[in-house]
Amino acid sequence: MTQPNEQLTDRQKKRLVLMICIILTFTVMNGTMFNVAIPDIAEDFNLMPSQVTWVMTGYILVFAVGALMYGKLADIFPIKRLLTFGIIMFAFGALIGLFSQNYAFLLVARIIQAVGGATIPALAFIIPARFMPKERGRVFGTVSATVAFASGLGPITGGIVGGTFDWRYLFILSIISVAFIPFLRNSIPDEEVRPGTVDIPGAVLIAVSVAGLLFFITMFSVIGLIVFFGALFIFYLHIRRHPAPFIDLDMLKNKYYTTAVLTSFLGTSVMFGMIFIVPIMARAVYDLNTLEIGLLLFPGAMGAAIVGQRGGRFVESRGSYPVLQTAFILAIAGSFLISAFIGVSPYFLAACILVQYVAFPLIQSSTANLLTELIPDEKTGIGIGMFNLMNFMSGAISSAIFGALLDLENVDLQLNPFARSSEVFLYSNLFMAISLTALGALAFFTLRFRKRPLPQ
């Protein structure tokens, strides 16, 4: 394998990071813009929360499988080629979505977008590890801060465009991303094609399995559960015979790698749960419009962007362990505060959301940096790909679960003693569940890593 990082000057590295951040902004905004528009989409197509969740869930499911697939492809094909293909597909899906007139058409557009868009976050974490290994901690922080910044810009943009015009016009911003292809191609070093194979049947089986699970969660479909277990069993038989399986079982035998990936899975479920529930809760409890929902999320996302930028430096100077543990403490506190104060002033609730939101980039950057310490150089693509697969799968599963729970009515159970009234028990209980999930992730990580020597 070539070592393109030796060919890059400091100026070229800065330009490459800038291009990554610009194109990543379009991808992340694409998710959070539509998040605040979910109530409007549900109203337009007369959908229940468990049904409209597929706008996010279907997108994230394809994103999850694509993230690992592109991670594997990055070990074989030049990153420049993969990103070009991805951005074109991302924009093409957006073009279809712009003219969607029914829910099925919208889902097709989102899936095509996900097929292309999955290249961007997947490769955004591989590029620093491959081309800038000495600065990877700092670049991971910058990438994570960009994700947080874009996730904050998305709700505001979605609120303005969706509230002033129509949510379909949000697709226009994704179409614009093709304009940056020439600049991105000029910034990425050339690479040669390397030998290797891609397990496409394995990827399809994983996608079918997870889709079955999500159908079971959202629609209580027994057929979905049968599909989940059936596809999973066939996948297990398949990877035992395949020379280069979609999921590397040898890598999963490393308990520290597996622990880091599962910790990130739980951490991502905490963040996706919050981002999915807040718009629906804000419409139901506070009767906020699309723009106001964006403003509710904006301070948290901006705070996360600032903390995420510094988080990369914290990871480099203090190490991944303490940063990751601090991030989960913030997630626990933030979700508990939201649970306790739903129903009070939206301004105060925005401050509670801020506490949880700032945990997101710290979890991402510290986990990504920790994984690069655990993964052999020749398996960087598949190792980071597994990390992305689990993160996005976490988002799909958590969104589906919370979407199904949001269909419930007349909830009398009160998990948080500080919840203000029975009208908000459902939302309060969901955020208590998020807080407990973050607590479990922190305990799991700390116990599993307590005997591992700290990296020098």
pLDDT of residue 197: 75
Does 367 share its domain with 319?
A: yes
Q: Please, are residues 113 and 90 in contact by the beta-carbon 8 Å criterion?
A: yes
The whole-model pTM stands at 0.72
Nearest to 387 by CA among 372, 398, 377: 372
> Do 231 and 363 share a domain, yes or no?
no
Statement to judge: residues 234 and 364 lie in one domain: no
| Of the residues 185, 218, 243, the one at which a domain ends | 243
Q: Give domain status of residue 251, yes or no.
A: yes
Residue-wise DSSP of 118-173: THHHHHHHHHHHHH-GGGHHHHHHHHHHHHHHHHHHHHHHHHHHHHHS-GGGGHHH
Of 207, 222, 243, the one marking the end of a domain is: 243
**454 within domain boundaries:** no
pLDDT at 4: 47
Q: What is the CATH number of the domain that holds 386?
A: 1.20.1250.20
Residue 427 shares a structural domain with residue 307 = yes
222 and 269 within one domain: no
Both 212 and 340 in one domain: the answer is no
262 and 380, same domain (yes or no): yes
Q: Is residue 443 part of a domain?
A: yes
**Same domain? 183 vs 227:** no
Give the span between the Cα atoms of 127 and 114, in whole angstroms. Answer: 20
Number of helical (H) and strand (E) elements in the chain, helices listed first: 19, 0
Any idea what the Cα angle at residue 388 is, between residues 226 and 369, rounded to 5°? 145
Burial 43-77, CB ≥16 within 10 A → b, else e? ebeebebbbbbbbbbbbbbbbbbbbbbbbbbbbeb
- If asked whether residues 364 and 444 sit together in one domain, one would say yes
Q: How many domains in the chain?
A: 2
CB 71 within 8 A of CB 381: yes
Q: Which of 243, 269, 296 is the last residue of a domain?
A: 243
> Does residue 191 contact residue 4 with C-beta atoms inside 8 Å?
yes
141 lies in some domain: yes
The answer to whether residue 2 is domain-embedded is: no
Looking at the structure, tell me whether residues 307 and 432 fall in a common domain: yes
Please give the Cα distance from 233 to 259 (Å, whole number).
23
Closest-CA residue to 31 (of 434, 449, 391): 391
Question: Are 297 and 353 contacting, i.e. CB atoms less than 8 angstroms apart?
Answer: yes
**CA–CA dist 235, 397 (Å, integer):** 19
What pLDDT score does 221 carry?
Answer: 77
Whether residue 60 lies inside any domain: the answer is yes
Question: Can you tell me the distance from the alpha carbon of 191 to that of 79, in angstroms, rounded to the nearest whole number?
Answer: 8
Asked if residue 213 is part of any domain, the answer here is yes
- Regarding whether 310 and 167 lie in a shared domain, the answer is yes
Q: What is the pLDDT along the chain (456 residues), one digit of tens a residue?
A: 444 444 677 788 888 888 888 888 888 788 777 777 777 888 888 887 667 777 777 777 777 777 777 877 887 888 889 999 999 999 999 999 898 888 888 989 988 998 898 888 778 878 887 888 777 777 877 777 787 677 667 777 877 887 778 888 889 988 998 998 998 888 888 888 877 777 888 888 887 887 788 778 767 778 888 998 999 899 889 888 887 777 777 777 788 888 988 998 999 889 888 888 888 899 888 998 877 887 888 888 788 878 876 776 777 777 788 888 999 999 999 999 999 999 889 999 999 999 998 898 888 888 888 887 787 766 766 777 777 777 777 877 787 788 778 877 777 788 888 887 878 888 999 999 999 999 999 999 999 888 775 554
Question: Any idea what DSSP says for residue 455?
Answer: P
Which domain, by its residues, includes 218?
199-243
Residue with tokens 């597929």: 54
In a domain, 332, yes or no: yes
Q: Answer yes or no: do 205 and 323 share one domain.
A: no
66: alpha, beta or left, given left = phi > 0 and alpha = psi -120 to 50? Answer: alpha
Other residues' Cβ atoms within 10 Å of the Cβ of residue 330 = 20
Between CA 25 and CA 176 the distance in angstroms is 12
